[in-house]
């Protein structure tokens, strides 16, 4: 197994995981429930992680992760409905499902 992505924001990690699985890549999430528990500041060791279980799907997985990460480098957008900040890769507010304003 190979670690392909980790981030303190579980939503971003799950977004990567869904994209990989949609491409037919077998993945496993680690530390899914440890980040930010009990009001503590999550440290790097407890960030959720996406692992690719099959070595021969690794190159494809890395390309998908790279393409999503380049989208995430766009500025965050602000939800007008619930005032949540959302990553640029998201077309809908992760909290209230309102569509990204254009
Ligand atoms: Zn919202």
Write the pLDDT tens digit of every residue in 83-93.
Answer: 999 887 788 99
CATH classification of 2-74, choosing from 3.40.1000, 3.30.70, 1.10.10, 3.90.320? 3.30.70
Distance from Cα 72 to the centre of ligand 1, integer Å: 18
Predicted structure pTM score: 0.62
Distance from Cα 87 to the centre of ligand 1, integer Å: 12
Residue 39 has pLDDT above 60, yes or no: no
Distance from Cα 94 to the centre of ligand 1, integer Å: 7
- Quick one: angle between helices 10-22 and 58-72, nearest 10? 130
Distance from Cα 78 to the centre of ligand 1, integer Å: 8
Confidence (pLDDT) at 83: 95
Distance from Cα 75 to the centre of ligand 1, integer Å: 16
Distance from Cα 101 to the centre of ligand 1, integer Å: 11
**pLDDT tens column, 22-35:** 999 999 999 987 64
pLDDT-based confidence at residue 81 (cuts at 50, 70, 90): very high
Confidence (pLDDT) at 95: 92
End-to-end CA distance of the chain: 39
């Amino acid at each position: 197994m190979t670690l392909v992505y980790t981030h303190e924001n579980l939503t971003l990690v799950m977004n990567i995981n869904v994209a990989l699985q949609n491409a037919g890549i077998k993945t496993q999430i680690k530390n899914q429930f440890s980040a930010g528990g009990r009001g503590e500041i999550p440290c790097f060791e407890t960030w959720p992680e996406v692992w690719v279980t099959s070595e021969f799907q690794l190159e494809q997985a890395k390309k998908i992760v790279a393409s999503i990460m380049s989208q995430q480098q766009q500025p965050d957008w602000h939800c007008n409905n619930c005032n949540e900040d959302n990553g640029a890769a998201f077309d809908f507010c992760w909290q209230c499902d309102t569509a990204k304003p254009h």
